[in-house]
Structure 1
Amino acid sequence: MTEFGDDRDLQEIVTADEEAFNGKLLKVRRLTVQLPNGRISHREMIRHPGAAAMIALDDKGCIVLERQWRAPLNRAFWEIPAGKIDPGESPFDCARRELVEEAGVEASNWVCLGTMHNAIGYSNERIVVYLAKNLQPVERHLDDNEFINLKKVPWQQALEMTRDGSITDVKTIIALAWLESYLNGTLRQAQVC
């Protein structure tokens, strides 16, 4: 059995990297790789700038959920606030900016719950998840192409929505599971920002 952390026998070496598509948000690459056994194979991957997602938890134990239309699946979804990281922006600065823009709140207490890689088979996207507390309402500043409805629900109800299929967005499911672990004192990866 292989020890944890010893991945030399799994490593693929990129021998060619070519652009297949260069969009506003996503970039698709075609990679040629040398496998651990010496054979050559091909990979397609999406390069993504990364994102930050936030659980905005108020002093009554309620969180902000967003209802937003998602074109790839042609329907609306319940999600926590989130957004892509702009060039030169840190994940934490992105989280603070997006919380104001989308949810209309600022927070004075932040905890980084963790980082997820939500599509490791075909993308380098990472989402850093934050818990935002000590909330103060401010004016929302949605982007011109954003249409988002907000709803406050007890965090336990949102967690139940992940279990009954009402919430199917992966970042929201993982973030709510991390929140539950954090509040129970069992999330070891959490760090104060």
Structure 2
Amino acid sequence: MSKPPPLDLTETLVSSRKVFDGNLLHVYQDQARLPDGKVRVREYITHPGAVVIIPLLDNGELVLERQHRYPLHQDFFELPAGKIDPGEDPPSCAQRELLEETGYTAESWRYLTTLHPCIGYSDEKLIYYLAQGLSFQGENLDEGEHLEVFTLSLPTALEWVKSGKITDNKSVSGLFWAEKVLRGEW
């Protein structure tokens, strides 16, 4: 007995309307035709995408940041990351962001994965890189950017995830990837 072909779950654009045009985010409200022929509203945010860097020092420690995040009005412990500028390729963005935010450059860059953190309401993608062979050049933060850079061992960072001290999704995902990669499992 053969398997039936997979269902076609495609939703087709009927009309689109931009309802908010911000500096970073753009919000759309579309009418989409569902596989059953009905038309429903789909609201979503477009985002330029971002890179996430897992910076690994020669001593095995990670370079992390503490940064205040306004929407939640609290400080978060995070991996360095930043949005991709128009026309910028992701590897160049990763190099730029690592230097700007932490003051480090890296000799070795390894693409790890691309993740989609908000598939229910955004097209944002996060592109992850492992950066090794770090050397400190000096911080070069963007205007209006304030953060504290520090180092932490991977086991301690994972314990911070377990205890709820690190809750930022991009960082949690990156730390889990780092664990697998550094163990040679991936």
Q: Same fold (TM over 0.5)?
A: yes
Please tell me whether the aligned partners of residues 67 and 78 of structure 1 are also in contact (alpha carbons under 8 angstroms): yes
Unaligned 5+ runs, structure 2: none
What per-residue deviation string (whole Å, max 9, x for no partner) do you get for residues 158-193 of structure 1? 111111100000000000101111112222xxxxxx
What are the residue-to-residue correspondences of 1:5-44 with 2, within 5 Å?
Answer: 9-44=8-43
Name the residue aligned to 2:114: 115
SS in 2 for 1:38: coil
Q: 1:14 to 1:91 in 2, by over 3 A?
A: same
Name the residue aligned to 1:181: 180
Q: 1:70 to 1:17 in 2, by over 3 A?
A: same
Large movers: runs of 4+ above 4 Å: none
Q: TM-score, normalised by structure 2?
A: 0.95
Name the residue aligned to 2:133: 134
Name the residue aligned to 1:191: none
**Comparing 130-139 with 178-187, which one deviates more in the overlay?**
178-187
Please tell me whether the aligned partners of residues 82 and 95 of structure 1 are also in contact (alpha carbons under 8 angstroms): yes
**2:77 is the counterpart of 1:78:** yes
Please tell me whether the aligned partners of residues 113 and 179 of structure 1 are also in contact (alpha carbons under 8 angstroms): no
**Comparing 152-161 with 21-30, which one deviates more in the overlay?**
152-161
Please tell me whether the aligned partners of residues 82 and 99 of structure 1 are also in contact (alpha carbons under 8 angstroms): yes
Q: Distance in 2 between matches of 1:119 and 1:78?
A: 20
Q: Distance in 2 between matches of 1:134 and 1:8?
A: 48
CA deviation after TM superposition for structure 1 residue 8, in Å: 5.2
What letter is aligned with 1:35? L
Q: 1:157 to 1:20 in 2, by over 3 A?
A: same
Q: Distance in 2 between matches of 1:125 and 1:162?
A: 23
Unaligned 5+ runs, structure 1: 188-193
Q: Distance in 2 between matches of 1:138 and 1:7?
A: 53
CA deviation after TM superposition for structure 1 residue 27, in Å: 0.3
Aligned residues: 183
What letter is aligned with 2:64? L
Q: Distance in 2 between matches of 1:113 and 1:157?
A: 22
Name the residue aligned to 2:65: 66
SS in 2 for 1:152: strand
SS in 1 for 2:142: coil
What per-residue deviation string (whole Å, max 9, x for no partner) do you get for residues 78-135 of structure 1? 0000000000001111100000000000001111111110000000000001110000
Report sequence identity in percent: 44
Q: CA RMSD in A?
A: 1.2
Q: Distance in 2 between matches of 1:42 and 1:120?
A: 16
Q: Distance in 1 between matches of 2:129 and 2:6?
A: 30
Q: Distance in 2 between matches of 1:137 and 1:86?
A: 24
SS in 1 for 2:157: helix
Name the residue aligned to 1:190: none
Q: Distance in 2 between matches of 1:159 and 1:22?
A: 38
Q: Distance in 2 between matches of 1:64 and 1:163?
A: 19
